[in-house]
Amino acid sequence: MSLIAVLAEAEAASSREPEVPPEETEGEEFIGQVRDPGDEDVARPPQTLRTVFGHERDEQNPWWHQSWKPEDVVVAPPFEFANFLTGPWFGLRARLFDLGIDIRGDYVMESLGNPTGGLEQGFTYTHNLGLQLNLYLNKLVGWRGATFRVKFSQRSGVSLSNEKIGNNFSVQQIFGGQTHKLVNLHLMQSLWEDRVNLSIGRIVYNDEFQHSPLNCQFLNNAFCGNPIAVFRNVPGGVTAYPTATWGARVRVRPTQHTYTMAAVYDGDPEREENEHGADFAFADNGVFIAVEAGWVPSRGLLGLPAAYKVGAWYHTGRFDDLVQDINGDNALVTGLPPRQRRGNAGYYATLDQMLYREGEGGQGLFLVASVTFGPDSDLNVLPFFYTAGLVYIGLLPGRPHDKLAIGAVTGWVRDRLRDAQREAGQDVQDAETVIEWNYHIQLTPFLYLRPDMQYVIKPNGFSEIDDAFVIGFEFGARF
């Protein structure tokens, strides 16, 4: 059994309706959060579906088929009030699904405050309203293995990190892109029982690369939706929900437990004229290229499910030098425009590992960890960044859906930038660390509440800003 299958089994433990797919009892895999898991909110094909190379694979494994949905094996989830806030729509949802039309929506909000530390104290609110349309083209027009997807987002609210704390790693993962926005608009094609999988259109990098189903047990944006260092080291050149850009991705599974994938994206997705995601023009600052390979064994290093991944990226566009101005001097001293450099690269490794299993079910202790390296001393502000966390599913008796999560992230600022700040007589940045604890309470299959605490050490790497204690909660509803 794969890692994601174990997680899904834990989510389904309290449901005794055999026709309900396990993930349909999971109330937190929501469209509107940065963590958007691709297809994890859609019903899965039957278990032990055989591949063309003769193996029985774990059908709920997102590393195999984050975008896979051949319509001949898709089954309709139970569109009832027990699973969706708005219920079956008087039977319309099931009839639409039979035609190949699947409509989903959710609302997620986060209210957090810093009673101590930071620049000043206060509380803020932010939310995301997400909508998703899946068109299963086999049902609609007889096109086997193809799905067309559209996503929309509406976000409002104020960032506690920006306005009150002054730190780098946002304590609210659903802040960013606070407007109404078209997100994904893309075609997915599965071939040869998903031995090859293609996606093309308006797509998002962190839907698939550096992805873990455990990352978004945390509210801090440095964890969720994926490790944040790539976005800091390639400013404005990488996509994360709710921003999509033109791109194409191919994923190949050479064996049952391995995969490789590569993608190319338009290199300037966050240009100001595309605030609402409806400007489909190509930008003029190169392309962003990503590659990843993974081993996802049912029995990993500890004889338990795991996922081990390595990846790299390269951006062909132009970026500002961290320190030098157009004349090669310290831009923090001269105030002149920064020197432009072309090409920006980095690499990473991620680990998901089940550490302890209660009995034969999906409850137990999981480790999630990652390291990201930014080797370019001219461009990468975070040369080294890590995330590490523990997630326990079903810790309390009678609460199999609940999750306890404890984690930490740290990002170190480049020495070259620190030296330039010192030369300019400015405050010198060091490393920022965030420690987080939360408890996910599954209220119903479609409602959850997650009380959360975070402690920010050296906000934005500045010892001049007091360490901040953050407390609040996240709430989500699937409709």
Sequence ranges of the domains in the chain: 3-478
For residue 384, the model assigns a pLDDT of: 96
Query: 134 forms bridges with which residues in the sheet?
Result: 102, 149
Q: 3-478 has which fold? A: Porin (2.40.160)
Residues 6+ apart with CB under 8 A from 281: 274
- Flag whether pLDDT at 54 surpasses 90: no
Report the C-alpha gap between 444 and 413 in whole angstroms. Answer: 42
- The neighbour count for residue 292, using CB atoms within 10 Å, is 22
Is 308 buried (19+), middle (13-18) or exposed (0-12) by CB count in 10 A?
Answer: middle
Task: Report yes or no: 69 and 463 within 8 Å, Cβ to Cβ.
Answer: no
250-275 pLDDT, tens digit per residue, is 999 999 899 999 999 998 766 656 67
Which residue, 32, 19, 263, 29, is CA-closest to 152? Answer: 32
What does the chain come to in residues? 479
152-186 pLDDT, tens digit per residue, is 999 999 999 999 999 999 999 998 888 899 999 99
Buried b (16+ CB within 10 A) or exposed e, 228-256: bbbbbbbebbbbbbbbbbbbebebebeeb
Report the C-alpha gap between 427 and 433 in whole angstroms. Answer: 18
Task: Report yes or no: 2 and 353 within 8 Å, Cβ to Cβ.
Answer: no
223-236 pLDDT, tens digit per residue, is 998 899 999 999 98
391-447 pLDDT, tens digit per residue, is 999 999 889 889 999 999 999 999 999 999 999 999 999 999 999 999 999 999 999
- The neighbour count for residue 409, using CB atoms within 10 Å, is 24
For residue 16, the model assigns a pLDDT of: 34
Of 68-72, 136-140, 144-148, minimum mean pLDDT range: 68-72
313-366 pLDDT, tens digit per residue, is 999 999 999 999 999 999 999 999 999 999 999 999 999 999 999 877 778 999
| Phi, psi angle pair for 393, to nearest 5° | -95, 125
- The neighbour count for residue 72, using CB atoms within 10 Å, is 10
Report the C-alpha gap between 86 and 379 in whole angstroms. Answer: 48
Cα–Cα distances in angstroms (integers) from residue 177 to residues 208, 235, 458, in the given order: 20, 15, 26
439-461 pLDDT, tens digit per residue, is 999 999 999 999 999 999 999 99
